[in-house]
Amino acid sequence: MELQIRLDDLSDPRIAAFLEEHLTDMRRVSPPESVRALDLAGLRRPEVRFWSAWLPSAEGSALVGTAALKQLDANHAELKSMRTAAMLRGQGIGRRLLDHVIAQARAAGFHRLSLETGSQPFFAPARRLYLHHGFLSCGPFGSYEPDPSSCFMMLAL
Domain-by-domain residue ranges, the chain? 4-156
Q: How confident is the model at residue 10 (pLDDT cuts 50, 70, 90)?
A: very high
Tell me the CATH number for domain 4-156.
3.40.630.30
Share of the chain above pLDDT 70, in %: 95
Q: Whole-model pTM?
A: 0.90
Q: How confident is the model at residue 1 (pLDDT cuts 50, 70, 90)?
A: low
Q: What is the mean pLDDT of residues 63-68?
A: 95
Contact predicate 109/71, CB 8 Å: no
* pLDDT tens digits, 69-95: 999 999 999 999 999 998 888 889 999
Burial annotation 46-84 (CB, 10 A radius, 16+ → b, else e): eebbbbbbbbeeeeeeebbbbbbbbbbeeebbbbbbbbb
DSSP the chain: ---EEEE--S-SHHHHHHHHHHHHHHHHHS-GGG-----HHHHTSTTEEEEEEEEEETTEEEEEEEEEEEE-SSSEEEEEEEEE-GGGTTSSHHHHHHHHHHHHHHHTT-SEEEEEEE-SGGGHHHHHHHHHTT-EE----TT----TTEEEEEEE-
Question: In whole angstroms, what is the distance from residue 71 CA to residue 17 CA?
Answer: 25
